Amino acid sequence: MARTRARCPVCQRGPYQLGNLYDHLRFVHWWSKEKVDQLKLKIKNTKFEGRFGIECECGKIYYSQHGIRVHRERMHGVPLGRSANYFPVTCPACHSLFRTGEELAIHCDEKHRKQGGQDFSMIQGTFRTHDDFEEWIDSVERLTKVEFTKRTSRLCKDGRNHIFVCKHSRGKGAAVDPKEIRQRFKKSERVHSHCPAFIRVIENMDGSVSYRGCLGHLGHKVGLEKAEQNPKEKSKRWQTHRRHKDALLYYSSRLDSCVSELSDDTWAVQAEDGFEYTVVVGDPCECGEDNTHCDRCGACPYQIICNCSDVVQKKGVSCIHAHAIATFIDKAHQRIPSVQHYLATEMPGCSSASSEHDEGAPPLLDSSEDMGDSDDDEHYEDNLSREEKKKTITPELIHHPSWSCRKKPIPKAKEELEQFQGLDEKQHVMVNTCMQSHLPHVIRDIRSTIESKMSEILPAGVEKTPKTRLQNSSRFIQQEEAGPSTSSKQGECPSQQPNHSRENKIPATRKVLRREFLEARSSRIRLSDEDQKEVLRIRTQREQNQQVVAQPIRKVLKREFIEASTS
* Average pLDDT rounded to a whole number, residues 441-465: 63
Least confident of 201-210, 267-276, 493-502: 493-502
Radius of gyration of the chain (CA): 35
Between 360 and 504, the higher pLDDT residue: 504
Alpha carbons 251 and 319: distance in angstroms, whole number: 13
Q: What percent of the chain has pLDDT over 70?
A: 61
DSSP secondary structure of 505-533: HS-HHHHHHHHHHHHHHHTSPPPPHHHHH
pLDDT of 60: 81
Judged on CB neighbours under 10 Å (0-12, 13-18, 19+), 541 is: exposed
Alpha carbons 226 and 228: distance in angstroms, whole number: 6
pLDDT band, very low/low/confident/very high, at 352 (cuts 50, 70, 90): very low
User: Edge-to-edge strands of the sheet including 122-127?
Assistant: 122-127, 209-214, 198-204, 159-166, 148-156
User: 0.85 exceeded by the pTM?
Assistant: no
Give the three-class secondary structure for 410.
coil
Q: How many distinct helices (H) and strands (E) make up the chain? A: 20, 15
Alpha carbons 456 and 252: distance in angstroms, whole number: 58
**Digit-coded pLDDT (tens) for 475-534:** 444 444 444 444 444 444 444 444 444 444 444 445 556 566 666 665 555 667 887 788
* Average pLDDT rounded to a whole number, residues 107-131: 84
Between 142 and 380, the higher pLDDT residue: 142
Residue 207 pLDDT > 60 = yes
Q: Are 269 and 277 in contact (CB under 8 A)?
A: yes
* Average pLDDT rounded to a whole number, residues 429-457: 67
Q: Residue 403: CB partners within 8 Å, gap ≥ 6?
A: 397
Residue 387 pLDDT > 60 = no
Q: What percent of the chain has pLDDT over 90?
A: 5
pLDDT of 31: 92
Mean pLDDT of the chain: 71
Least confident of 128-137, 284-293, 443-452: 284-293
Give the three-class secondary structure for 276.
strand
pLDDT of 201: 92
Alpha carbons 554 and 322: distance in angstroms, whole number: 92
Between 37 and 175, the higher pLDDT residue: 37
pLDDT of 436: 62
For the CA atoms of 69, 72, 73, 77, what is the dihedral angle to 10 degrees?
A: -150
Least confident of 47-56, 61-70, 159-168: 47-56
* Average pLDDT rounded to a whole number, residues 15-35: 90
Residue 406 pLDDT > 60 = no
Q: Is the peptide bond before 15 cis (omega within 30 degrees of 0)?
A: yes
Least confident of 295-299, 323-327, 437-441: 437-441
Count of beta carbons in the 10 Å neighbourhood of residue 493: 6
pLDDT of 200: 92
pLDDT band, very low/low/confident/very high, at 417 (cuts 50, 70, 90): low
Residue 116 pLDDT > 80 = no
Residue 75: beta bridge partners? none
One-letter identity of residue 287: C
Alpha carbons 78 and 7: distance in angstroms, whole number: 42
* Average pLDDT rounded to a whole number, residues 82-91: 67
pLDDT of 211: 92
pLDDT of 310: 80
Alpha carbons 222 and 178: distance in angstroms, whole number: 25
Least confident of 274-278, 394-398, 449-453, 462-466: 394-398
Count of beta carbons in the 10 Å neighbourhood of residue 218: 29
Could you tell me which of 262, 258, 295, 296 has the C-alpha nearest to residue 281?
A: 262
Residue 419 pLDDT > 50 = yes
Q: Residue 375: CB partners within 8 Å, gap ≥ 6?
A: 117, 351, 353
Between 386 and 505, the higher pLDDT residue: 505
Least confident of 356-365, 470-479, 519-528, 544-553: 356-365
Question: What are the backbone dihedrals phi and psi of residue 127, each rounded to the nearest 5 degrees, phi first?
Answer: -115, 150
* Average pLDDT rounded to a whole number, residues 317-344: 83
